[in-house]
Amino acid sequence: MSGARRLPTGKVPAEVLRRFVFPYCGVPCDRVLQGPGVGEDAAVIEMGDSVLIAKANPITGAEGRIGWLAVHINANDVASCGASPRWFLAIVLLPEGADESLLENIMIDIHDACCEVGASLIGGHTEITPNLDRPIIAGFMMGEVSKEKYVTTGGAKVGDLIILTKYAGIEGTGILATDLAGILKGKVSNAFLKKASEMLRQISVVPEALKAVEEGGVHSLHTPTEGGLLNGVWEMTEAADIGAVIYEEEVPMADETMHVCQALDIDPLKLMGSGALLIVAEQDRTDHLIKALNEIGVKASVIGRTTVKKEGRILVKRDGSKVIIEAVHQDEVYRILDQYC
């Protein structure tokens, strides 16, 4: 074990994936159009004239409606390839002492979310697992789209505009407002706290992802998750091997997120970001795209543009100063929960 480094809590960093995960991929298969890669939301497999999109994501730390979250997190990644989520499998691991009602509530939540995204639950595995202190769900979503229509995170091109739907930090705001409600109570008004705790309801990006692909001109879709918007931008530019400029003042932020982040002294741009979709699109299609998204009730804002790689990945702060956007090794949610729990 000498020389082997301990890993930080949360998603494993990209450089660790590159060294210890991606080299071990079994038998090469030329029907795999997109395999494992930094920032890639899902795998793409050739199936005649269409492609199958497949993604696996767990829910390991959330409280509340974990079955519902497991479906939406996976559906988001499948939709971020331009595909409708269709078929879901769930591995449900329950702690010892769990009863039938816990299982039924999780299954009702899975059912509800599957209905919301248009997917069928087609299989899985349910067990009582020793030495767990809460349920864990491993979700696996498959979707389908014609071969001409799928997009990957790495498809972004130099000179595109970068759009963000809804707000930065939706997921993290919802988690913190729930898990740290006691600490936030004195610092944030009850009304804001309640609204913040309900933000997870906005987590699905399936409608906007499918609408964007339908409208055309989209080169890349990506869901910022752990590490928030900045990590999402880093992953997208890394996957596409390009640079980017993001303007902080253009990044839409919900009032609830600002209040929660000020109260806890955390950076909303590094806060779990599911609920917002990064859309990288041809410059002259952007106005049309934003209008189309608004028409289905989804707010969308241009937050920056892509550049050649040598210009770097830059965040222009509100005061005009520039900072380099790097991989975010620990999401603000983990940092702050470590501090308070």
Of residues 30-89, which lie at the interface with its own copies (CB under 8 A)?
32, 35-36, 40, 42-43, 45, 47-48, 52, 54-58, 60-61, 86-89
Distance CA 248, CA 108 (A): 39
Whole-Å CA distances, 246 to 26, 234, 252, 304, 318: 38, 11, 12, 4, 11
Nearer to its own copies by Cβ, of 125 and 317: the residue is 125
Output Rg (C-alpha) for the chain, integer angstroms: 20
* Stretch 141-200 residues interacting with its own copies (CB under 8 A): 142
User: Considering beta carbons, is residue 121 or 316 the nearer one to its own copies?
Assistant: 121
Q: What are phi and psi of 45, to 5 degrees?
A: -120, 135
β pairing state of 84-95 and 120-129: parallel
Burial class from Cβ neighbours inside 10 Å (0-12, 13-18, 19+) for residue 51 reads buried
Residues 11-30 that bind its own copies (CB under 8 A): 11-12, 16-17, 19-21, 23-29
Determine phi and psi for 334, rounding to 5 degrees.
-65, -45
- Nearest Cα residue to 89 out of 119, 133, 50: 119
Task: Identify which of residues 125 and 157 has a Cβ nearer to its own copies in the complex.
Answer: 125
Q: Specify the stretch interacting with its own copies by CB under 8 A; choose among 121-129, 146-154, 231-239, 272-280.
A: 121-129
User: What does DSSP say about strands 50-59 and 278-281: parallel, antiparallel, or unpaired?
Assistant: unpaired
Distance CA 171, CA 14 (A): 21
CB of 310 to its own copies, least distance (A): 30
Please state the closest distance from residue 3 (CB atom) to its own copies, in A: 8
Binding its own copies (rule: CB under 8 A), the pick from 78, 79, 114, 277 is: 114
Task: State in angstroms the smallest separation of the CB of 201 from its own copies.
Answer: 18
Question: With contacts defined by CB under 8 A, how many residues of the chain interact with its own copies?
Answer: 84
Sequence-ordered list of residues with C-beta below 8 angstroms from that of 218, at least 6 positions apart, any chain: 82, 151, 212, 279, 280, 281, 285, 289
Rule CB under 8 A: which of 84-113 touch its own copies?
86-91, 93-94, 96-104, 107-108, 110-111, 113
By beta-carbon proximity to its own copies, the closer residue of 118 and 216 is 118
Is-contact 72 113, C-beta < 8 A?
A: yes
Cβ 95 to its own copies shortest distance, Å:
10
Nearer to its own copies, 94 or 278 (CB): 94
> Nearest distance from residue 145's CB to its own copies, in Å?
13
Cα–Cα dist 165/317, whole Å = 20
**Cα(100)–Cα(90) distance, integer angstroms:** 17
- Segment interacting with its own copies (CB under 8 A) among 130-138, 145-153, 171-179, 204-212: 130-138
Out of 118, 146, 241, 340, the residue judged to bind its own copies by CB under 8 A: 118
Q: Which is nearer to its own copies, 287 or 338 (CB)?
A: 338
